[in-house]
């Protein structure tokens, strides 16, 4: 069995034909074009896959998308793509490949599912996994009891909106002190600039942290502390075995993951939290595509 996996990110779209064993038979990726019509962009990226794997062989469609999204209505409104406000993505892909099941989940939910399926060889059969995407926002997704947990409205996993500091700065969500106000790329850059740093973006901040620039290191350590609070909260509620971290900011590597692992170990009070393993994604950009495929592949 082969299915089509689609990954709608904030800056690029990817699609792939994925076999039941997780092998990727064909893959395409195109950068986001803000002025293009969504339907045309989809046709272009899917067409590059079906040019190599005939559409007739694709028996289902799994989609991971940047949020917000409404999996019940089948619509997505990726924050960075104004042309896609409330875009009926499930219907659009169902139109390209009629008669197949189409399933939609968040990008971090798919990342968690992909890592669960193919990235965590030592996991138990009924383990509990959090996938966390640290990027322009902070997103999350769970695999619980061996299945993706999406929630009644599909919104499970909003780990970026856990309170890191009740007295913290206001969050666009309406609450205050959310993890995202400290640990997203733009939040880290904003804090570093307010403390004298003059670089351009999160990538430059990561390079400076690697080079030992104190304010940049501290920006990552602050983010890691907020992420550790979020991780330990999720672990206390869900008895987690594994946390897998991905996303553009997490790609900075040890400057984020080392202090994150240290803060988690330091603050894990309850005994059952001490088995928790926190690691970078082992599948990279494939995690989201594999997880999207797993939404429609038989388990």
Residues found near a copy of itself in the complex (CB under 8 A) = 68, 124, 126-128, 140, 142, 144-145, 149-159, 161-166, 171, 173-176, 178, 229, 232-234, 236-241, 267-272, 275
Q: How far is the CB of 38 from a copy of itself (least distance, A)?
A: 22
Torsion, CA 167, CA 168, CA 174, CA 175, rounded to 10? -50
Between residues 92 and 178, which has the closer beta carbon with respect to a copy of itself?
178
Contact predicate 69/75, CB 8 Å: yes
Q: How far is the CB of 67 from a copy of itself (least distance, A)?
A: 10
Between residues 49 and 111, which has the closer beta carbon with respect to a copy of itself?
111
Rounded CA gap, 266 and 250, in Å?
20
Half-sphere exposure at residue 138, Cβ-oriented, CA atoms within 13 angstroms: 30
**Residue 13: closest CA among 39, 52, 49, 41:** 41
Q: How far is the CB of 223 from a copy of itself (least distance, A)?
A: 14
Q: How far is CA 249 from CA 15, 119, 184, 194, 280, in A?
A: 23, 20, 8, 19, 11
Between residues 157 and 259, which has the closer beta carbon with respect to a copy of itself?
157
Q: How far is the CB of 160 from a copy of itself (least distance, A)?
A: 9
Q: How far is CA 109 from CA 3, 104, 194, in A?
A: 18, 10, 33
Between residues 38 and 127, which has the closer beta carbon with respect to a copy of itself?
127
Rounded CA gap, 87 and 38, in Å?
8
Q: How far is the CB of 58 from a copy of itself (least distance, A)?
A: 28
Between residues 26 and 236, which has the closer beta carbon with respect to a copy of itself?
236
């Amino acid at each position: 069995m082969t299915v089509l996996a689609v990954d709608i990110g904030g800056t690029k779209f990817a699609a792939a034909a994925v076999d039941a064993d997780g092998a990727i038979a064909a893959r395409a990726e195109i950068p986001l074009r803000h002025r293009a019509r969504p339907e045309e962009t989809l046709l272009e990226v899917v067409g590059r896959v079906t040019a190599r794997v005939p559409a007739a062989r694709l028996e289902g469609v799994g989609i991971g998308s940047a949020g917000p999204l409404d999996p019940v209505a089948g619509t997505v409104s990726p924050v960075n793509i104004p042309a896609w406000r409330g875009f009926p993505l499930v219907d659009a892909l169902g139109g390209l490949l009629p008669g197949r099941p189409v399933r939609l989940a968040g990008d971090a939910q798919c990342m968690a599912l992909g890592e669960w399926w193919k990235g965590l060889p030592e996991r138990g059969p009924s383990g509990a996994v959090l996938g966390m995407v640290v990027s322009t926002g902070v997103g999350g997704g769970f695999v619980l009891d061996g299945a993706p947990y999406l929630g009644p409205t599909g919104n499970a996993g909003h780990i970026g909106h856990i309170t890191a500091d009740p007295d913290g700065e206001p969050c666009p969500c309406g609450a205050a002190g959310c993890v995202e106000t400290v640990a997203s790329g733009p939040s880290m850059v904003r804090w570093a600039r307010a403390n004298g740093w003059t670089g351009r973006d999160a990538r430059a901040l990561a390079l400076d942290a690697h080079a030992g620039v104190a304010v940049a290191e501290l920006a990552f350590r602050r983010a890691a502390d907020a992420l550790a609070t979020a991780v330990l909260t999720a672990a206390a509620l869900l008895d987690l075995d594994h946390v897998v971290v991905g996303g553009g900011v997490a790609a900075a590597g040890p400057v984020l993951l080392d202090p994150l692992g240290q803060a988690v170990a330091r603050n894990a009070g309850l005994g059952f939290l001490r088995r928790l393993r926190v690691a970078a994604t082992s599948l990279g950009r494939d995690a989201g595509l594999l997880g999207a495929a797993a939404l429609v592949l038989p388990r």
